Amino acid sequence: MHQWLRTLGVAAAGAAIAAAVSVTSTSVSGQQGSAYRAPRAADGHPDLNGIWQALNTANYDLQTHVARPALALRPGPYGPVPAAAVLALGAVGSVPGGLGVVEGDEIPYKPEALAQKKKNQESWLTSDPEIKCYLPGLPRATYMPYPFQILQSSKAIFFAYEYAGATRNIYLKDPGPAPVDSWMGQSVGKWEGETLVIDTRGFNADTWFDRSGNFHSEQLHLVERFTRTGADHLQYEATIEDPQVFTRPWKISMPLYRRIERNAQLMEFKCVEFVEELMYGQFRKNPLPR
């Protein structure tokens, strides 16, 4: 009993400290953002050029979550994955705990969509598009554990992502509706003072928001806001709207950090060769032993 009480006390103290740190960090970030004036690009807009990266656990789960082992899986479309094989990964196959990036820490699913999200989570290791090396989609490409680069001029803005060689061309003049749905959608950007606002539509339904099965439909509409709040910081916000899946729009936010190594650069991560067996192994004439 005494040990249980001590554990509870430590947990409560930890929660209180985390809350205090969160409030303090928010206050400091807000003060820095209000006082900071970003360097200017040639056209007078804030200069967002650089290699940036999120440092959080949102790619595992957008919402607050405790550390946990990888889930034991049900049979998936590419055959069963034994729970023992998952557990054998030990700490490497675990999910680190993390604070949520969702405003209010709630994703407003419709009931039937929430049921689908839970099914996705149960079959994560065989169903997550990231596992299959599909293009990451948005906003997930922003907070995957890989850097991305913003290339900005007075006439063009381009995003290059390390993961799977994904790219985005940000139109500065609206070309009209996207001719076809795609993994990364069609993005149109504009400046609102110090903030780059990117409106993206035209998605397919084949990407997830994280490894916990959070998903969307073809009706996804994303509005992102990039605001430079320091020499090496961007504040990122994204409002997500999808009337087929969610009851209302909802928002995520996080800081992004500039990679400041002297030789900072995007490396090549063409991940297709790492998933060939997962994707095509069932077509082998002589399947590999499990």
CA Rg value for the chain: 21
Reduced to 3 states (helix: H, G, I; strand: E, B; else coil), residue 177 is coil
Dihedral Cα 271, 274, 278, 279, nearest 10 deg: 50
Q: What is the pTM of this model?
A: 0.82
Residues in the chain, overall count: 290
Reduced to 3 states (helix: H, G, I; strand: E, B; else coil), residue 250 is strand
pLDDT at 84: 54
* Distance between CA atoms of residues 135 and 11, nearest Å: 39
* The two structure tokens encoding residue 277: 């067996």
Q: Which residues of the chain have pLDDT under 50?
A: 1-33, 72-80
Residues 77 and 126: beta-carbon distance below 8 Å: yes
State pLDDT tens for residues 175-228: 999 999 999 999 999 999 999 999 999 999 999 999 999 999 999 999 999 999
CATH class of 41-66+100-283: mainly beta
pLDDT at 6: 40
Domain ranges (residues) in the chain: 41-66+100-283
pLDDT at 290: 59
pLDDT at 124: 87
pLDDT at 79: 47
